[in-house]
Amino acid sequence: MKHLVEFVRATGVRWLWPLLAGVLAANMALAVLAFANATPVIQAVVLTIAATTVIGTALLVKLLARTALSLEEARQDDEAAYLHLREAIDEMPAAIELFDEQDRVVVYNRRMEEMYPQLEKSMVLGQTFEEQLRSTAQPGWPEGATPVEQEAWINQRLNERGATDGPQLQRLPDGDWAYLYETRTTSGWVATVRVNVTEMIRQREALDLARLQARVADIRLREATDAMPAGLEMYDTEGRLAFYNQQLLQMYPEMAQALELAVEKGHTYEDLLRFSIRTGLVPEAQGREDEYVVEVMNSLGISDEPRVVATPSGRWLHVYEKRTRSGGVVSVRLDVTASIEAGRALADANEQLARLSTTDGLTGVANRRFFDLSLSSEWQRSTRNREPLSLLMIDIDHFKLYNDRYGHLAGDECLRRVAQVLDDCIRRSGEVVARYGGEEFAVLLPGTNIEAAVMIAQRCLDGTVQASIPHADSPTSPRLTLSIGVATLVPVPGSNSTTLVEHADIALYEAKRAGRARLQRASAVA
């Protein structure tokens, strides 16, 4: 009886009960008839038929009951699987819809409701894709669309329905972004999946903005570095050229192609240095190329002092090279040509000033100031080395009479000619001819003994005679003559250089008293 009840409940077959009642009634009628008038044989047959009918009916009912239970279990399994499937679809992070062959919605998940909250749930199932499009297409959607543009957008979506290979990027009504995947099955159904990619789009937009800002910053940096009055190079941690500015190209136009190729091919500082040496851009490296490269590479980025280099165009540069925190190298080249030229001009001016301050303006030989400085210096050196120091004191004989006869301009020319004769008589470094005052000259001879000093004095006398300068009013000779006093001393500690001058001056006085036009040795000789 339990199986019959389950069968009826599972199948809904309400006629089973009347059928069973009819079978029982028929069997009972046959039994009554058989026992009422029939022969024993007929009764046996009737009873056999009735029993067979009852048994068959019972077996049929049992079979139907088992079938009903199997169907019920299958239905319950299907319902459970469907519920699990719906739960799984609802939990998926993407919005899912399934459309039948008439493009009507047959199933969708919770994510779809969240993505399109304006959809009425009761209207979604059974809607066609086109109806769905039109219900979601609010005024101005897609973003800023006119009614005509909106209609065109709907037609385009219908034409593309299930025909695209990749995802379509769509803007959702709430401003979010989604990737739409549409797949048409072999039976004509369409499965759609929408994945919210708003965060990815925002990250991409932020990345694009950052890249744009980086490009703008790079352009501004390049503009700033190109405007700098200095050549700039930047090398990475591997020593490869990463950046250079336009000012560097102006300093080295011959390097333009090499610099461009260096950035493209990853050439290093040393590669560029060797290239510049090979092309003759580094004159100071010629003949010692490898040694120069080693010197530069060993000091690269560690010296606080700039290197001074010359360019082929004749410019002078200060090269500052420093290492960055990351291990790269920044090289800055400043044009210091103006400063160097100004320094050279100043040095030349100082040299000229020094020369003027120590040179007699009329004769061109040393003046009295330079003579005093030289005498003091050589006196000290001779004292240390215990060497002889000689001095010639020279006077032009009767020079006043020369001026009176020929005039002061001729007298000045006479002083210049005598100075030239005396200067031609000295030959060693350190020997000094000086105008001591008026028509008087002095010749300082370091490391010279008295005999050598006398020989030089005689050379001066002979040179004056050879010059043959007329002196018509001279009581000594019709040609200009000199009187020379010669003195030699070996200075001792504590002595004074004026002693040598005094001895030479006394000797000069004696030469004049003896008749002039001669030399006289000092009586005090070391």
User: Which residues are part of the catalytic machinery?
Assistant: 439
Establish how many alpha carbons lie within 13 A of residue 383's alpha carbon, considering only the half-sphere containing its beta carbon: 14
Displacement of CA 54 from its chain's centroid (Å): 103
What's the rounded Cα separation, in Å, for the pair 191 and 108? 10
User: 3-state DSSP call for residue 478?
Assistant: coil
- In contact, 308 and 324? CB cutoff 8 Å: no
Nearest to 524 by CA among 510, 514, 515: 510
- In contact, 392 and 453? CB cutoff 8 Å: yes
Angle between helices 16-36 and 2-11 (to 10 degrees): 140
Beta strands in 312-385 (DSSP E): 316-323, 329-335
What's the rounded Cα separation, in Å, for the pair 184 and 160? 11
Give the amino acid at 78: D
Angle between helices 368-385 and 498-513 (to 10 degrees): 110
What's the rounded Cα separation, in Å, for the pair 28 and 22? 10
138: left (phi over 0), alpha (psi -120 to 50) or beta: beta
User: 3-state DSSP call for residue 516?
Assistant: coil
Q: 93 Cβ partners below 8 Å, 6+ apart?
A: 111, 195, 196
Distances (CA, A) of 271 to 28, 204, 262, 284, 328: 120, 40, 9, 18, 16
Give the amino acid at 167: P
